[in-house]
A and B are shown apart, each in its own frame.
Chain A
């Protein structure tokens, strides 16, 4: 079975450029999460969706970050404009229902120079 699929796996971009990260959750899962991992802050929940609807975006650091889930099988996290401090690993994760196991993708490793 395919797990959570993220793309790109690695991206290096210049400051000021737009970055779009993509995620395909596990088929049938109705909850989707975006996390950011850095050495300084560890794992941070940015936003999560339930049935394609954003439920909690309080972790989104600022207006430069936006996330969408147009359908049950696709989500994007966009950073515009990007800054060097956005360099991190961004993980997408999905789960079937409340209190069920959350499965993570392999992450998108972003470097903004």
Chain B
């Protein structure tokens, strides 16, 4: 079945540091890929998505590129802020109308 693997956290960075959160997936066919963000005490919000190979999703300074050859969708941001502290979930959406999530990666940004 489909699966998503993302790096375990927590990831602790200083403000303005470069962020990478790795995400790889296993799926048949051509899934759509997503990053969701969960701020403390809140639900999940869509951060960005990509629906086909080589697409780049971007939002709020975050980017991720759909790499079919490496089955990856790594999340990057050039300069993180304290307000980016949250849990980030990589997910894939495949045939059958199911969203499969990774385990989540907690990001802590210190001033």
Q: Which of A's residues lie within 8 Å of B, judged by CB?
A: 4, 31, 33, 42-43, 45, 48, 50, 55-56, 91, 93, 95, 98-99, 101-107
Contact = CB atoms under 8 A, between A and B. Distances in A.
Chain B contact residues, majority secondary structure: strand
B107 to A, nearest CB: 16
Interface in B81-111: 89, 93, 95-99, 101, 103-104
Contact of A101 (B42, B46, B101, B103): B46
Nearest to B49: A101
Given A91-B43, A99-B32, A43 B93 contact: no
Interface of B: 32, 34, 36, 42-46, 49, 51, 89, 93, 95-99, 101, 103-104
Given A43-B89, A43-B104, A102 B43 contact: no
Contacts of A102: 46, 93, 99
A105 B43 contact: yes
Given A101-B49, A104-B45, A107-B43, A42 B101 contact: yes
Nearest to A6: B43
Contacts of A107: 42-43
B99 A45 contact: yes
B97 A48 contact: yes
B103 A42 contact: yes
Given A42-B104, A104-B43, 20 more contacts: A4-B43, A31-B97, A33-B99, A43-B89, A43-B101, A45-B98, A91-B43, A91-B44, A98-B95, A99-B93, A101-B34, A101-B46, A101-B49, A102-B46, A102-B99, A103-B46, A104-B44, A106-B42, A106-B43, A107-B43
A42 B104 CA distance: 7
Nearest to B102: A42
Nearest to A50: B97
A54 to B, nearest CB: 12
List 3 A-B pairs, minimum CB-CB distance, nearest first.
Answer: A104-B43, A104-B44, A106-B43
